[in-house]
Amino acid sequence: MKNTIIWLSRATLWAALTIIALPLLFSSCTEEEKPNNSPKVGNLTIEIDHVWGMDQKPFLMNTPIVHPMSGDTMTFSLIKYYLSNFELIKADGSSYKVPNSYFLVSETDNKIELKNIPMGEYTAVNFLVGVDSAANNSGLQQGALNPSNGMFWSWSTGYIFIRVEGTSPQAKNNTFLFHLGGYIPPYSAIQKKNMILGGNSVSIKPDAAPVLHIKTNVARLWHGPVKLADVSVVHSISDLSVSMSANFRDGILFDHIHQ
């Protein structure tokens, strides 16, 4: 009898232990699983053409080109900038934010792939030129935001949003260098772009591969104009960093949709 009681209590103990242990075993470390019954999704490619001036001349690297406003002759050796936090908007105003969407764009890396977007007709795209303040300020990032990409200010934590470099006879020391960034007001250079797709819509569906073509007018950075004889180097937060990044944002325009 005594033995039975002990045995029962032991059995209860074992049962309890197993009940406690098993869920631990299975649930404690499960990676996020994608539900099988997720809604139908599709992808969108955004292709960025780099142009020079309002009349959309080709933007050429390593070739002297004359700025349409300032008249400065500029030879570009580098252009890189961040586009991030993409959000697609339908005609009814509902929207889809593409998670973790950070892209480092250059004249050669000029395609952005947005994946797993819910099916539908989208009439506008919102994004940031630059990197949101949270991503600037939360330690080490990877992928497009990897600090080895040459777009991270090591001495003043945060990203360079727009980086252009080159040579010009009008610039002091014959070189120009613009590193524009900063995420804390009043010197926040994060620029929000609301791009309406010209009354058209882009169709996202599982079997389609639509391409949204946009154009970046690089000359727009020196809109105003900013003359290289006056300023040829910016590499910290400043009023100019804010105004130049805003101008650059205004030079990014919708072109057409290839459905």
Partner 1 sequence: MNALSLKGLTNGRILLLVFILPLIETSCQKNATDSEFKFPADFPSIQYKNLENQLTPQKIHLGRVLFYDPNLSSTRTISCGSCHAQVHGFADHNLPKSFGVHNRIGMRNSPALQNLAWNTHFMWDGGITHLDVMPIAPITDVNEMDLPLGEAIERIRENKQYLNLFKKAYGDTIINEKTVLFALSQFMLTLVSDQSKYDDVRRGKTNFNQIESKGYQVFKNHCVKCHSEPLLTNNQMEYNGLTVKSKDLGRFRITQTLKDTFHFKVPSLRNVALTYPYMHDGSFSNLDQVLKAYQTKFQLENHDLEALRAFLNSLTDHKFISNLNHAEIHPFNP
Which helix (H) or strand (E) covers residue 133, if one does? helix 133-136
Of 21 and 229, CB closest to partner 1: 21
Residue 10 near partner 1 by CB under 8 A: yes
DSSP-derived secondary structure letter, 110: -
Residue 16 near partner 1 by CB under 8 A: no
Question: Contact letters (x/-) for partner 1, 214-243, by CB under 8 A?
Answer: ----------------------xxx-----
Question: Contact letters (x/-) for partner 1, 37-76, by CB under 8 A?
Answer: ----------------------------------------
* Near partner 1 by CB under 8 A: residue from 14, 63, 95, 196: 14
* Near partner 1 by CB under 8 A: residue from 53, 118, 147, 225: 147
Quote the CA–CA distance of 173 and 171 in Å, as a whole number.
6
Bridge partners of residue 176, in order along the sequence: 166
Q: Minimal distance in Å, beta carbon 138 to partner 1?
A: 7
Q: Torsion over CA of 145, 149, 154 and 158, rounded to 10 degrees?
A: -30
Place of tokens 């990014």: 252
Quote the CA–CA distance of 112 and 107 in Å, as a whole number.
12
Q: Minimal distance in Å, beta carbon 219 to partner 1?
A: 27
Quote the CA–CA distance of 211 and 44 in Å, as a whole number.
6
For the chain, helix, strand, coil in percent to 5 are 20, 40, 40
Q: Minimal distance in Å, beta carbon 178 to partner 1?
A: 16
Single-letter amino acid, residue 257: I
DSSP-derived secondary structure letter, 38: P
Single-letter amino acid, residue 220: R
Place of tokens 């947005």: 114
Q: Minimal distance in Å, beta carbon 21 to partner 1?
A: 5
Radius of gyration of the chain (CA): 26
Of 10 and 258, CB closest to partner 1: 10
The one segment of 6-14, 167-175, 192-200, 210-218 that binds partner 1 by CB under 8 A = 6-14
What is the number of H-type helices and E-type strands within the chain? Answer: 3, 15
* Near partner 1 by CB under 8 A: residue from 62, 77, 94, 157: 157
Residue 140 near partner 1 by CB under 8 A: yes
Residue 152 near partner 1 by CB under 8 A: yes
Chain positions contacting partner 1, by CB under 8 A: 7, 10, 14, 17-18, 21-22, 24-25, 28-29, 137-140, 142, 146-148, 152, 154-157, 184, 187, 236-238
